Structure 1
Amino acid sequence: MQRYFVKQRAIDNRFMIDGDDRHHIIKVMRMEIGDKIICVEPEGQAAVCEIAKITDEQVVADVVQWKDEKSELPILISIASGLPKGDKLEWIIQKGTELGACEFIPFAARRSVVKWDDKKAGKKVERWQKIAKEAAEQSHRGIVPEIISPMDFKALIERSKNFHYKLVAFEEESRSGETSIFSATLQKMKPGESLLIVFGPEGGLADEEVHVLQENDFALCGLGPRILRTETAPLYALAAISYHFELMRR
């Protein structure tokens, strides 16, 4: 059943769907009155709905049954990625959304080849947000992760002060055989707490960036004995987090 994240809560058990989602329902899915969809409120509550009316401006869907879903990780994971080349960030956002991340923070690292253009920022972030929304719908998430507009390294440090736990995936730690920091951090975390994990771009983080992160309470951690690409490492971490919190404890 197709899922849609609606902009407003249901009023009298009725959803009003407009914009791109209305177009998708009518033109792409070719749905008609009587067809069923799943609508998700901004707070994450989902309901099976039946299309009751289709107009030139909106689709009206009546709630048939509210669903009791638990598809979110018990902790809040934010992924900070040093701006990578090509479409790698789109891949990280799409797959990271499927794996449960709640926020993505692109940042300009010293070794980032990509130079951020503020003039194109709005369209880029809009595209990334759309990718996250579609991935959240496909994977039956309760929320759509937020895509933060790319920032510089100093702004990332400032933003990091809002998190309970902070880690840096650092390849030198993997090479030296460190295996405990990542696991130990997950062991300490309680439901509702937040974790920010920083990943470098191609070429990794510069030594001075690592030192600044450590000075601001980030712990360095390895992600196993193999060196992972910048687009692979966040997915490895999210998969490990899911295993720890959602599979190992059942």
Structure 2
Amino acid sequence: MQRYFVNAPASEGRFYISGDDRHHIVRVMRGKIGDQIICSDSDGKSAICTIAEITDDLVIATVVQWEEGSSELPVRVAIASGLPKGDKLETIIQKGTELGAYQFIPFTAARSIVKWDDNKASKKVERWQKIAKEAAEQSHRRLLPKVAAPVTFKELLALSRDYDFKLIAYEEDAKAGESSMLSKTFASVEKNQSMLIVFGPEGGLADQEIAQLKEAGFISCGFGPRILRTETAPLYALAAVSYHFELMR
């Protein structure tokens, strides 16, 4: 059953679907009155619905049954990625959404090769958000992850104050054989708390950035003995969160 994210909550037991999603239901899925879909609102509530009406602008779906349970990670994990080359960030957003990330925060790191173009910002962020939306629908997420516009390193430090736990994926720790800080941190995290994990671009984080992050309360940790690519490390971290907080409990 196809899932759709609707910006507004249900009104009097009905969802009102417009724009690209209306087009997808009517033109791509060939939806008809009486067909069933799943609608998720911005509060993370989902319901099995029946298409009640199709107009030139809207698909109106009536709630049949609200879904119970949740497909969301019990910990809100934000992924902060130093801007990488090519389409690597798109891979992080797509696969990271499937693995349960709560938010994506790209940032300009000292070793980022990509130069952010503010003139193309809105279209780029719109594309990233669309990738997250499609991945969230495919993986039956209840919440749609937010993809932020790229921030500066200084702005990232300021944003970090809002999180309960803060980690740095640091390849030098991995090289040195550090293997305990990730699991020790997980052991301290409780349900519904938030976690921000910072990953460097292809060249890694600069020493000065590591020092500033630690000064801001971040804990550096290794992700096993192998050095992971910038697009692989966030997926490793999310898989580890899922294993610890979902499969081990």
Q: What TM-score do the two structures reach when normalised by structure 2?
A: 0.99
- Farther off after superposition, 58-67 or 236-245: 58-67
How many pairs align?
Answer: 249
1:179 aligns to what SS in structure 2? coil
Deviation at 1:31, TM superposition (A): 0.9
Structure 2 equivalent of residue 106 of structure 1: 106
Structure 1 equivalent of residue 196 of structure 2: 196
The amino acid across from 2:28 in the alignment is: V
CA contact (8 A) 1:121 1:149 kept: yes
Structure 1 equivalent of residue 85 of structure 2: 85
Cα deviation 1:66-102 (Å, max 9, x = unaligned): 1103111111100000000000000000000000110
Q: Distance in 1 between matches of 2:91 and 2:182?
A: 23
Deviation at 1:124, TM superposition (A): 0.5
CA contact (8 A) 1:22 1:58 kept: yes
2:127 aligns to what SS in structure 1? helix
2:34 aligns to what SS in structure 1? coil
Q: Distance in 1 between matches of 2:69 and 2:193?
A: 20
Structure 1 equivalent of residue 153 of structure 2: 153
CA contact (8 A) 1:5 1:40 kept: yes
Q: Distance in 1 between matches of 2:29 and 2:182?
A: 43
Structure 2 equivalent of residue 182 of structure 1: 182
Structure 1 equivalent of residue 65 of structure 2: 65
Q: Distance in 1 between matches of 2:176 and 2:87?
A: 31
Structure 2 equivalent of residue 239 of structure 1: 239
The amino acid across from 2:155 in the alignment is: A
Query: Which residues in structure 2 correspond to 1:1-250 (within 5 Å)?
Result: 1-249=1-249
Q: Distance in 2 between matches of 1:69 and 1:33?
A: 28
Root-mean-square deviation over aligned CA pairs: 0.7
2:63 aligns to what SS in structure 1? strand
Q: Distance in 2 between matches of 1:111 and 1:178?
A: 24
Specify every segment of 5 or more residues in structure 2 that has no aligned partner in the other structure, as ranges.
none
Specify every segment of 5 or more residues in structure 1 that has no aligned partner in the other structure, as ranges.
none
The amino acid across from 1:86 in the alignment is: G
1:159 aligns to what SS in structure 2? helix
CA contact (8 A) 1:46 1:69 kept: no
The amino acid across from 2:102 in the alignment is: C
Q: Distance in 2 between matches of 1:211 and 1:7?
A: 40
Deviation at 1:10, TM superposition (A): 1.1
